[in-house]
Amino acid sequence: MNLWPEETAARYRASGYWRGQTFGALLTSLKEAYADRTAVVGEDQRWTFAELDERAHRLAAGFVAGGIKQGDRVVVQLPNVPEFVSVVFGLWRAGAVPVFALPAHRDSELRHFVEQSEAQAIITVGEHAGHNHAKMAREVAKGKVFVVGEPEFAELAATEPCELPEPDPEGMAFLQLSGGSTGLPKLIPRTHDDYLYSVRESARICGLKKESVYLAALPVAHNFPLSSPGLLGALHAGAATVMAPRPDADTAFRLIEAEGVTISGVVPPLAAAWVQAAARTGRDLSSLEVLLVGGAKCGRELAERIGPALGCQLQQVFGMAEGLVCYTRLDDPDDLVLSTQGRPISPDDEVRVVNPDDPLAKSDRVVEPGEIGALLTRGPYTIRGYYNADEHNKTAFTEDGFYRTGDLVRQRESGHLEVVGRAKEQINRGGEKVAAEEVENHLMAHPGVLDAAVVAVPDEYLGERTCAYVVPVEGNQPSAAELRRFMRGRGIAAFKVPDLVEVVGEFPVTGVGKTSKRELRAALAALAKER
């Protein structure tokens, strides 16, 4: 694992960013401070901090008795249920390293996470949203599979608690997933110390207090609902988290009314759906104070409608699982809240905006203030390298440790960033990230496909959708429908199946394509935009 240089780490400790506390120890102190307050609410569960703490202790002992050792990686694929929280804290207390899969991931992705992390176990559910997760996990796992809801899990959860050694707070706490722009998603190693710093500050910046109620609307394993300020920020403040089984307006509004939700976080298409539904809902949404919107660009027009429609304050957030998170502040003037994606959490988040079309590619010449450029960043909670990815790390990071975010931004004098585009080969489908190359590789596994290029096309609802241009093998031309069917059978998350497939005799742009896939994609994207 690429770590921060010792000199830098010492500075982060001295500044009080890294405090030497693990997530397990955090839960112990939360239990002491907020014992009888509600911590987590599910469809038919309601746990106090004391109950959550006890469950996490029992599970930790159960995991250890079940053969999980310090440092073992464990893929966690759970929907928004309270057990997500007890399992993850249980693993932390056992010294294990959760690997966060999303419920949408299928066997091809799960297999990749297991292989890449050399995971010793998978923790999942049975049937969820029409998919048999337990069966999938058993086919993919190299070790044990624990299924929430099965008798064996209940036994594990009833284990007598025991004393366990504290893991290293500066060691790897979990592996988060990157949106990815190359072949397969990379794993992001986060430490207790670095993540807790971002969680603590996020809770403060978003105004969380013990009376707050956070609605986890998005899949809670994702970095945004987990930590910005998310489930962990809410716990940190002594506040309750309500787990929404689905993010649609009907479900969310029902929970907002029933639980007195004060804060939530959504991606722009969901914000738009909530805004639309608010006009005709019979629900009382008056408890809602703040709605965080991020994961993809929230345009000014939508931003202006959110406050009036939902009767709350908009807070924009621009974050990434690799680290850097920016928020508009609750006391920022309207113009900044409506037209920027916020400023970094930490005074020690370093932001470098460099010329993106530099012919010397990686010379990283800093642009004039206020000009558009590619965003590089480093700081007390931004990783210095992906997990087991030395080759990729050479290009994803600068020599002096800046992460190349692949985002095009403009920085205001106030430090606020406006996200204006992207330099990475990725499609942002309403907050869900699709790596062009990963989808192309799946398409090319079809015997009738000679070449494929996947690009973003503008979409009114999602912001962007995926379009796959496919050049068929001569005499064996698959139809667009056949290719979509083929992709659905590849065992990938449904959001990665191309929305549009165009089977073409040759790529409809000349002079490129022979040179680089990157240029080909750029030309195709420009063409797709014109349509």
Interface residues toward ligand J2J, by CB under 6 A: 179, 223-224, 227-228, 294-297, 316-321, 325, 341, 405, 407, 419, 422, 428, 433
Q: Residue 89 or 403: which CB sits closer to ligand J2J? A: 403
Q: Residue 95 or 233: which CB sits closer to ligand J2J? A: 233
Q: How far is the CB of 495 from ligand J2J (least distance, A)?
A: 12
Q: How far is the CB of 428 from ligand J2J (least distance, A)?
A: 6
Q: How far is the CB of 521 from ligand J2J (least distance, A)?
A: 16
417 bridge partner residues: 411
The number of beta carbons lying within 10 Å of the beta carbon of residue 121 is: 24
Segments of 386-480 assigned E as strands: 403-411, 417-422, 426-429, 432-435, 449-459, 463-472
Q: Which are the contacts of 326, defined by CB distance < 8 A and separation ≥ 6?
A: 317, 318, 319, 341, 342, 343, 344, 345, 416, 417
The b/e string for 163-179 (b: 16+ C-beta within 10 A; e otherwise) is: ebeebbbbbbbbbbbbb
Burial bucket for residue 324 (CB in 10 Å: 0-12, 13-18, 19+): buried
Q: How far is the CB of 206 from ligand J2J (least distance, A)?
A: 11
Q: Residue 316 or 382: which CB sits closer to ligand J2J? A: 316
Q: Which residue is nearest to ligand J2J (CB)?
A: 319
Q: Which two tokens stand for residue 246?
A: 């689905």
- Please compute, for residue 313, the number of CA atoms within 13 A of its CA located in the half-sphere on the CB side: 17
Q: Residue 134 or 292: which CB sits closer to ligand J2J? A: 292
Q: Residue 256 or 292: which CB sits closer to ligand J2J? A: 292
Q: Residue 148 or 317: which CB sits closer to ligand J2J? A: 317
Q: How far is the CB of 233 from ligand J2J (least distance, A)?
A: 10
Q: How far is the CB of 74 from ligand J2J (least distance, A)?
A: 21
Q: Residue 120 or 223: which CB sits closer to ligand J2J? A: 223
Q: How far is the CB of 467 from ligand J2J (least distance, A)?
A: 19
**Cα-based angle 465, 518, 360 (whole degrees, multiple of 5):** 135
Q: What is the DSSP string of 147-194?
A: EETSHHHHHHHTSPP---PPPPTTSEEEEEEP--SSSSPPEEEEEHHH
